[in-house]
Structure 1
Amino acid sequence: MNAFKRLVFACLLFSSVGLFGQVSNQLEMLDIFNLEYVSDPQISPDGQKVIYVRNFKDVMTDRNLSNLWIASFDGSSNRPLTTGEQNDRSPKWSHDGKKIVYASNKSGKSEIYLRWMDSGEEMVLVNSEKSPSNITWSPDDKHLAFNMFVPKAKPSPIKMPAAPKGAKWNSPPKYVDDLGWRRDGVGELPQGNQQLFTVPVSGGTPRQLTDAPFNHGSAVWGKDCQHLYFSANMREDRELEGTDSDIYSINLMSGQLTKLTDRYGPDGNPAISPDGKKMAYLGFDDKYRGYQISRLYIADIDGSNSQLISGNLDRDVGNITWSADGKGLYFQYTDKAHTKIGYITTKGKVTEITDGLGGVSLGRPYTSGAFSIAANGNYAYTWAETQEPSDLGVGNKGNNKRITKVNEDLLDYKQLGSVEEIWYKSSADGLDIHGWIVKPADFDPNKKYPLILEIHGGPFTSYGPVFSGEIQLMAAAGYVVLYTNPRGSTSYGYDFGNQIDKNYPSKDYDDLMSGVDEVIKRGYIDENQLFVTGGSGGGVLTSWIIGKTDRFKAAVVAKPVINWYSWALYADMSAFATRYWFDKKPWEDPEKYMKHSPISLVGNVTTPTMLLTGESDLRTPIHESEQYYSALKLQGVETAMVRIPGAYHGIAARPSNLIGKVAAILTWFDKYKTESVSVDIRR
């Protein structure tokens, strides 16, 4: 058993019971395996039933699993459609509401299942070693379209002689000539591409529509059932111009491809109007900025007369769905960390339908969510709470109802930390900054508590008022936790997001320090017990912070970028990083790369620091942590390195990794923490 596994095991053993063998009423490490959440709610065409994905975990196999459940719109008849230790996902209703299709690996392969809703009978439509995805019904419910990876061998130019009979040679050399030859979460990329397929609902062999050397986005059907609309980047130099995609149509009879959009920037997510005459889609004019707003456009079905209709909404638009009358579209957006459903007319007038979406990220409190809407205006969505992961919510015109409590068996008898929303001014320039304070469940205002500053990644993402298993475990360990959205965070508009364009880290440091000062002013924080941690972009900022101040007793730098020069040439996003996050390539402007690299400040660091990264991480590769670890050791700073075996950038992809991450952080902070003391804060 290696050191990391011993650490996790010790923490699990300690947290499984309270003093004298009593069960604790606070959240514990092993509770992570008992947490469930709702995702991908799909409302029926008549608005009377909702199918949703219920996600759960298996403590014995350390896997994330999911089944399909169904409930009536009024919350009654909530029951499973599928059961078993498998992954059932992506349910889609037929237009007549009589059937669904969904993807599952219950047979050990990736398959698409067709299910009759009246009888519950099922059949396999697609059986493949590869994973079919983005399943859509034709308007007449006779066919499905979907994406699937098609391997295509790329012969090596290196010719090896034949090995003698019985010889045991090494595998032949690997010949790589692609810039994007590996990707985080996958590793080395197989040769081939995502292609488009159709299959009759009556059964039969899937028909491959495309066979091109580039990936095809998810397709939607034209009203005539004879055309599919999809996005793709067909540029010859797409490795370097990876964001420049356009929308195409393909004629299913002739195979003819027609390009429908033509501007520099990403165009995608097409949605066809109910009368089949218009196409809505998302995109933007690419200006090489760090943060660019995803906007909504409408064009004629042939791509002509394109118009921007969300120009007055300074927020990203996503998940677009035409209204039944074709006069507008429903969409999802996040405004000041609150995820919402909106409606926009074809003239650009925006109305908020409801907010409170989210909760599908169990680890940290990232904004998220999903919804679907029926022709009668009934909608279903992931209901977000600060005290629970996502449940199923339904509503109409803002009259909402929560119809599930998938964690009542666990959280009804657990006391969680309270979450308080705050706004404060940055010391840098008075900019308004948004954040949240999480207090222990047994919070006593007459005590002084240690504070953890927890910083989000991205950096162009946002935290919100939603459940976070990691932060609740920190609060259960006796810490007050502060998390914020410093400048550069999304959901506050184009200008706020680009406050750090080509200048990261910078004043976001002041935003974070001002947040710490704001919480300290409230009187219940021990100023001598400040701790800081964050992952990815949060790891960058954590290492930057301890290079600029010694206020913190200890730090945990998770999956960071320490040296922008080395990262830009080693991570899985080189073409993007050297164009959108910097003005020039590393060798063209090495001083700027070093100026913003935390390694440039390592000589100032005195804070005891732990490094924590997945060993298979390709987004912020572990060599970044190794550089910093060696530098800190050479500086004589107390440091340790935690390596998560087999983990990519998304460490929490396995439940035990999430537990191990929090256990490691708390082990390091507890080493430097002293007991909370009672004080009279009125003095």
Structure 2
Amino acid sequence: MTKNIAPEDLYQLRSVSQVRFYANNIFFTENFIRKDSNSYLANLVSLDQDKNYRVWCQKGLNSSPRVLGDFLYYLHQEDGKKMQLYRMPIDGGSAQPFLLTDSEDTSVQELVVSNDAQALYVKTKKTQEQPKFKTEKFPEVRHVTKLNGRLDGYGWFENDAEFSLIKIDKLMQEETVLFTTKDDFELAAVAKAGTDIAYIRGRQPELDTDIDYTKAVYLYNEKTGKTQLITTDVAQGSFSAAAFSPDGKTLALVGNDNNYPGQTINDLWLYSLETKQLTNLTQQLLDVDVGYEAALTADFTQNLCSNSVVWLDNKQYIFTALHHGHSQLYMGNWDTVQLIRDEAEDITDFCVASPQKLLLTVSKQALPSELLLFDIETKIVTELYNPNHDFEQTHSYLKAQKFTYLSKDKTQELEGWYLPAANKPKHSPVLMYVHGGPHAAYGEAFFHEFQVLASWGYGIVYVNPRGSTTYGQKFCNDVDGHYGENDFSDVLAGLDYALEHFPELDKNHQYIAGGSYGGFMTTWAVGHTKRFKAAVAQRCVSDWISMHGTSDIGYWFDRQELQADLFSDDEARQKYWRMSPLAYAQNVITPIRLLHGEWDMRCPISQSEEFFTAVKLAGGETDMIRYPQSFHGVSRNGLPSLRIHRMYDIKEWFDKHQ
């Protein structure tokens, strides 16, 4: 008899990502967690044409495999040190650091091989400042001057950082610094060595009174040393990925016009380097979200990249998109775009293996991770590698059931999933779990925590209410200025549907949980309904007014999401308060536990502290658990020991209130 999934299985499960194909070898990273070091690690491995498995490097965190000439280059990080560039001979030999500089202040951030495989291009960052200070007897002070001066999951931005683009020649193995700048950028793609390099950065890097919403695409020409902005016609555009055609004449881009900052649906664009014309190819053809930015909400896969578009030849390209909670693959040219794969899965990365075959890394609700070969013509899929094959001989995953339901106002057909409790008891408590965002989506991806909670006897219901991504722009925008309205109604309607159609769910034992926006929805729910026996709000938003100035994104996110400027007038301030769960804390009779990371910069821990204090003062039942050294993503990429501790914290609270 196989076992169900337990919290500690995080230490056994593995995922694959960052797949690349070179000279009949498939390179990829195999990601896992070490219990003794409480850390995330990744081996660099390969499969040859006979599926022989080889480990190239297995110490520390290894990523970004790139082959240039006779060497395999990759990024290596160990023991919390800065990320560095390493290389090793393809025909055998040991790995050695390939230092671009002898400075301990420099880290390597990105690698791109030119289309003609003649040079490697490397982005570096140099700084003496640290994003988070360590505890010391004589600490330093931090001088903050930038409005946009921090980022959750990282810490405080450095005032002295320098970013460089460096070229490594294949033959001479010489390093050339192409440029150095104070403005951060993303190295996106390189045509033939010595020609054009595409990179992405904001158009207004010196903006000091607001955030620069733009992410524009620039071309740097190696021969002339000149830089050209190529997305001029999309003044406020936000682009995230780029790829040159093999001949270097066309650049495929993933991005949007940014009409709705932080939530605009991405399209596929083509830019002709000959005519200087930029064309949006999918805006009128498809109502899908191109690329990975609207990623499905999950908690398992690690070390992902954003390889959203690749070229098959000089005319045809492949790109990924998200639609109704799952991934799709499309093939196109200058005139048409056609769907070539549409399965219940999350495609986490892909690359070209041959003119008609793609390599895919995928995740599914009942399959954590797998490497596949997909034939574009025949649509035949070949399973190449499952990193959890041995684990799955003794363990089994619970399978979710997808359902559709009608919104209470009868205007929307909505989607949700039900993961039955293990052993399917006649009466199982039901847990409504709300995703973050709100511009995110549940979907066809493996969710370790859901598997654990269901193995503990809870039936899990999770839905995509209005405001979620992957259902089109209008659906995504519905929540703007209307938090706690249609979105709240959609959540409850999904729960009502599940209770009506899955008779084993116990109507007398309903629970609710969620993180970030899901934490907002949880605290909002307990202030507006008494139907839940208990609630767990994680890294919540409870007070939009204090969120505005204390979150790393609050000052612009609040304006967009609430459709009001806090400092414009009294009506705006009243709107902020009216949409804050804190305003209804005196109504809470549902026992609620609050979970929060102490380093959270996205929804600062004060959001939970405020709600905890208000419920306590009103005589409600509540407690709070604080996770040290934890950013907003504590449940996805936080310290592994705390991720596991957190799952037991949820179980303890719900078990207590049976």
Are residues 606 and 343 of structure 1, via their aligned partners in 2, closer, same or farther at CA, if it must alter by over 3 Å?
same
Residues 146 and 196, structure 1, Cα contact 8 Å, conserved in 2: yes
Measured after TM superposition, the shift of residue 622 of structure 1 is 0.2
Instruction: Give the residue type in structure 2 aligned to 1:314.
Output: D
TM-score, normalised relative to structure 2: 0.89
1:185 aligns with 2:153: yes
1:578-606 per-residue CA deviation (whole Å, 9 max, x = no partner) reads: 44223332122101111211112212211
Cα distance in 1 for residues equivalent to 2:11 and 2:543: 36
Poorly superposed stretches of 4+, deviation over 6 Å: none
1:519 to 484, 495, 498: 498
1:227 to 196, 209, 214: 196
Q: Paired residue for 2:289?
A: 316
Residues 435 and 518, structure 2, Cα contact 8 Å, conserved in 1: yes
Q: Paired residue for 1:16?
A: none
Residue segments in structure 1 that go unaligned for 5+ positions in a row: 1-22, 155-167, 359-367, 674-683
2:5 aligns to what SS in structure 1? coil
Instruction: Give the residue type in structure 1 aligned to 2:279.
Output: Q
1:440 aligns to what SS in structure 2? coil
Measured after TM superposition, the shift of residue 203 of structure 1 is 6.7
Q: Paired residue for 1:286?
A: 258
- RMSD (CA atoms): 2.5
Q: Paired residue for 1:643?
A: 626
Instruction: Give the residue type in structure 2 aligned to 1:90.
Output: S
Q: Paired residue for 1:126?
A: 99
Residues 38 and 53, structure 1, Cα contact 8 Å, conserved in 2: yes
Q: Paired residue for 1:413?
A: 394
Residues 67 and 80, structure 1, Cα contact 8 Å, conserved in 2: yes
Measured after TM superposition, the shift of residue 340 of structure 1 is 2.2
Q: Paired residue for 1:489?
A: 468
Q: Paired residue for 1:656?
A: 641
Are residues 458 and 336 of structure 1, via their aligned partners in 2, closer, same or farther at CA, if it must alter by over 3 Å?
same
Cα distance in 2 for residues equivalent to 1:461 and 1:386: 17
2:179 aligns to what SS in structure 1? coil
Q: Paired residue for 1:17?
A: none
Q: Paired residue for 2:613?
A: 630
Q: Which moved more, 1:140-149 or 1:629-638?
A: 140-149
2:654 aligns to what SS in structure 1? helix
2:441 aligns to what SS in structure 1? coil
Q: Which moved more, 1:461-470 or 1:232-241?
A: 232-241
2:528 aligns to what SS in structure 1? coil
TM-score, normalised relative to structure 1: 0.86
Task: List aligned pairs for 1:357-396, cutoff 5 A.
Answer: 357-358=345-346, 369-396=348-375
Instruction: Give the residue type in structure 2 aligned to 1:492.
Output: Y
Q: Paired residue for 2:404?
A: 423
2:183 to 205, 210, 214: 214
1:484-515 per-residue CA deviation (whole Å, 9 max, x = no partner) reads: 11111111111111111232232111111111
1:667 aligns with 2:652: yes
Task: List aligned pairs for 1:153-302, cutoff 5 A.
Answer: 173-191=141-159, 192-201=161-170, 206-223=175-192, 225-235=194-204, 236-237=206-207, 240-262=210-232, 263-288=235-260, 291-301=263-273
1:500 aligns to what SS in structure 2? coil
Task: List aligned pairs for 1:460-471, cutoff 5 A.
Answer: 460-471=439-450
Q: Paired residue for 2:61?
A: 87
1:139 aligns with 2:115: yes
Measured after TM superposition, the shift of residue 221 of structure 1 is 1.5
Cα distance in 2 for residues equivalent to 1:455 and 1:336: 16
2:457 to 478, 497, 503: 478
Residues 252 and 270, structure 2, Cα contact 8 Å, conserved in 1: yes
Task: List aligned pairs for 1:325-336, cutoff 5 A.
Answer: 325-336=313-324
Measured after TM superposition, the shift of residue 341 of structure 1 is 2.0
Are residues 303 and 245 of structure 1, via their aligned partners in 2, closer, same or farther at CA, if it must alter by over 3 Å?
farther
Q: Paired residue for 1:9?
A: none
1:92 aligns to what SS in structure 2? strand
Residues 132 and 148, structure 1, Cα contact 8 Å, conserved in 2: yes
1:392-426 per-residue CA deviation (whole Å, 9 max, x = no partner) reads: 11111221122222223323212432211111111
Instruction: Give the residue type in structure 1 aligned to 2:264.
Output: Q
Q: Which moved more, 1:138-147 or 1:182-191?
A: 138-147
Q: Paired residue for 1:148?
A: 124
Cα distance in 2 for residues equivalent to 1:294 and 1:189: 27
Q: Which moved more, 1:295-304 or 1:182-191?
A: 295-304
Cα distance in 1 for residues equivalent to 2:393 and 2:466: 37
Are residues 478 and 357 of structure 1, via their aligned partners in 2, closer, same or farther at CA, if it must alter by over 3 Å?
closer
Q: Paired residue for 2:297?
A: none
1:41 aligns with 2:19: yes
Instruction: Give the residue type in structure 1 aligned to 2:149.
Output: W
Measured after TM superposition, the shift of residue 390 of structure 1 is 1.0
Measured after TM superposition, the shift of residue 268 of structure 1 is 4.5
Instruction: Give the residue type in structure 1 aligned to 2:523.
Output: S
2:427 aligns to what SS in structure 1? strand
2:87 to 114, 126, 137: 114
1:448-500 per-residue CA deviation (whole Å, 9 max, x = no partner) reads: 11001111101111111222111111011111111111111111111111111
Measured after TM superposition, the shift of residue 122 of structure 1 is 4.1
Are residues 526 and 549 of structure 1, via their aligned partners in 2, closer, same or farther at CA, if it must alter by over 3 Å?
same
Are residues 188 and 531 of structure 1, via their aligned partners in 2, closer, same or farther at CA, if it must alter by over 3 Å?
same
Cα distance in 2 for residues equivalent to 1:376 and 1:173: 56
Are residues 325 and 418 of structure 1, via their aligned partners in 2, closer, same or farther at CA, if it must alter by over 3 Å?
closer
Cα distance in 2 for residues equivalent to 1:150 and 1:35: 35
Residues 590 and 620, structure 2, Cα contact 8 Å, conserved in 1: yes
Residues 310 and 351, structure 2, Cα contact 8 Å, conserved in 1: no
1:576 aligns with 2:556: yes
Are residues 404 and 309 of structure 1, via their aligned partners in 2, closer, same or farther at CA, if it must alter by over 3 Å?
same
Cα distance in 1 for residues equivalent to 2:602 and 2:454: 29
1:440 to 392, 417, 421: 421
1:454 aligns with 2:433: yes
Measured after TM superposition, the shift of residue 551 of structure 1 is 0.4
Are residues 443 and 415 of structure 1, via their aligned partners in 2, closer, same or farther at CA, if it must alter by over 3 Å?
farther
Instruction: Give the residue type in structure 2 aligned to 1:114.
Output: R
Cα distance in 2 for residues equivalent to 1:481 and 1:153: 44
Instruction: Give the residue type in structure 1 aligned to 2:336.
Output: G
1:585 aligns with 2:535: no
2:86 aligns to what SS in structure 1? strand
Are residues 379 and 356 of structure 1, via their aligned partners in 2, closer, same or farther at CA, if it must alter by over 3 Å?
farther
Measured after TM superposition, the shift of residue 327 of structure 1 is 1.8
Cα distance in 1 for residues equivalent to 2:509 and 2:524: 19
Are residues 519 and 608 of structure 1, via their aligned partners in 2, closer, same or farther at CA, if it must alter by over 3 Å?
same
Task: List aligned pairs for 1:586-625, cutoff 5 A.
Answer: 586-588=566-568, 589-625=572-608
Are residues 289 and 68 of structure 1, via their aligned partners in 2, closer, same or farther at CA, if it must alter by over 3 Å?
closer
Are residues 481 and 73 of structure 1, via their aligned partners in 2, closer, same or farther at CA, if it must alter by over 3 Å?
farther
Cα distance in 1 for residues equivalent to 2:128 and 2:453: 48
Q: Paired residue for 1:32?
A: 10
1:554 to 534, 542, 564: 534
Residues 73 and 394, structure 1, Cα contact 8 Å, conserved in 2: no
Cα distance in 2 for residues equivalent to 1:533 and 1:169: 40
1:515-559 per-residue CA deviation (whole Å, 9 max, x = no partner) reads: 111111121111110011001111011111111111000000000
The alignment of Structure 1 onto Structure 2 pairs a total of residues equal to 621
